[in-house]
Amino acid sequence: MEISMEQKKATQEATSKKGGFRTMPFIIANESFEKVANVGLHVNMIMYLTNEYHYDPATATIILFLWSALSNFMPVMGAFLSDSYMGRFQVISWGLIIDLFGLILLWLTSIIPQARPPHCKLSIERCETPNGGQFMFLVSSFALMSIGAGGIRPCSLAFGADQLYNPENPENERLMKSFFSWYYVSVGVSIAVSATFIVYIQYKAGWVVGFGIPVGLMLFSTVMFFLGSSMYVKVKANKSLFTSFAQVIVVARKNRQLPLPPNKSDSWYFQKGSSLVEPTNKLRFLNKACIIKNYEKDLDSDGMVVDPWNLCSVTQVEELKALIKFALCRRSQFSVFTHRRTMAPIAVGDVIPDGTLSYLDEENKPQTVSIHSLAAGKKVVIFGVPGAFTPTCSLKHVPGFIERAEELKGKGVDELICISVNDPFVMNAWAKTYPENKHVRFLADGSAKYTQALGLELDLTERGLGPRSRRFALLVEDLKVKVANVENAGEFTVSSAEEVLKAL
């Protein structure tokens, strides 16, 4: 955000009495302990959601992604409030308090048994997922931590720089570089400690202690920050970012017919003392907002803009460009996540997600069954095929498991399950074409939801076949994947009954 000359002068006067390196222990300690308290929670949180809240890995990953997305978005709002209304000190202060309350709520979910579903063993029984109240209690803690992060992250570094910034001091540049170096060193060490120490404590001492320590660290971080309050340089808010952005858009539209001046032209408007004296070549249509059309009409005797809705500074233009690039970057990251399940199929060591598949009973009535009810406490082979009655599936893949079923049973396999993205009527008709079959169970995944949960969907829309399943074979023991043989599209090399027998 561009700083006015009056604001810079006020900051420099305040710096002579306040700020300086004496404030650094409070600021760096605050940032370090806040990082230790929060980073370690993200690392191991998926285990908490799957083991204590009984979410399947896919749902837990989505919850954590949304938490991370909100935590990364809220700093935009924090920066806006800091620059436009409240100032950095107030935003950091409220951020610390709100973050602390969020951590306390999360800690309470581990202390109060009623705050989470009843305890059970995922490997041997079907577990309850949280009810609405339990879910809201958990999500509230995540939301408060995200809001708190939105106040702390965008302001801490700039607030530290406020304490040292004094352009009249010949040592100013060296002091600023020293501060930035120590700041980033403290952040790096804090993240490393958090990702190891906090996770280790959670694993060894349990969730109550593992969440309690971050609460204590965050409380200490908050106290340290407020202890230095009387010594801080507290720069006031300048002006509204949204107003500035609106001015750039309006002026750029007004000047849309003007040709762009050449580089290093004196037609660009920038404030005295600004390091940005000409705009970049990216999003060049916005550059027209900072073109000086008439020096006498656009600028006053002090070189300041007469009408901000008629001329903007280079800094204002570049701030809007930075926001646009940030928004595009976040959109790209979200697009990558939405396709993550396709790129990362289930692998060895994963717990298979639960899901409901369908079949026809002896009276040809549709029935459903859960995968966990079939696989919990057992050794199971689950193999998937792209479609019923297709050549490779009908002539090679399925017959191989029917012929080798006795051998697989002799190796300790309790269940043989064939899954395909078809309705139960088709699967029932297909199963009847194998009168010799005694052990392979045909189950339908008509909507492809379970196939998608496995990350093994195959999009054949362009061939007129819609969503299908990749060809695969999984060896599962007590819900954990021991062997995951997944074929590339159109191949049949590693998912056969012979390959599964080799792995047993």
Which among 243, 300, 232 is positioned nearest to 269, based on CA atoms?
300
Which position among 155, 290, 312, 393 bears the catalytic label? 393
The rounded distance, in Å, linking the Cα atoms of 390 and 490 is 12
Sheet holding 366-370, edge to edge: 366-370, 356-360, 440-444, 415-420, 379-385, 472-477, 480-486
The rounded distance, in Å, linking the Cα atoms of 73 and 304 is 34
Structure tokens at 267: 């037609």
**Pair 180, 160: CB distance under 8 Å:** no
The rounded distance, in Å, linking the Cα atoms of 423 and 389 is 13
Cβ atoms < 10 Å from Cβ of 339: 9
**Pair 483, 495: CB distance under 8 Å:** no
Helix, strand, coil distribution of the chain in percent, nearest 5: 60, 10, 30
Q: How many residues does the chain have?
A: 504
Instruction: Judge whether 393 counts as a catalytic residue.
Output: yes
3-state secondary structure of 100: helix
Cβ atoms < 10 Å from Cβ of 278: 19
Please report how the helices 172-193 and 24-51 are oriented relative to each other, as an axis angle in degrees rounded to 10: 30
User: Which 8-state DSSP code applies to residue 18?
Assistant: S
Sign, CA dihedral 278-282-287-290, equals negative
3-state secondary structure of 460: strand
Residue-wise burial string across 443-470, b where 16 or more C-beta atoms lie within 10 A, e elsewhere: bbbbebbbbbbbbbbbeeeeeeeebbbb
Which residues are the active-site residues? 393
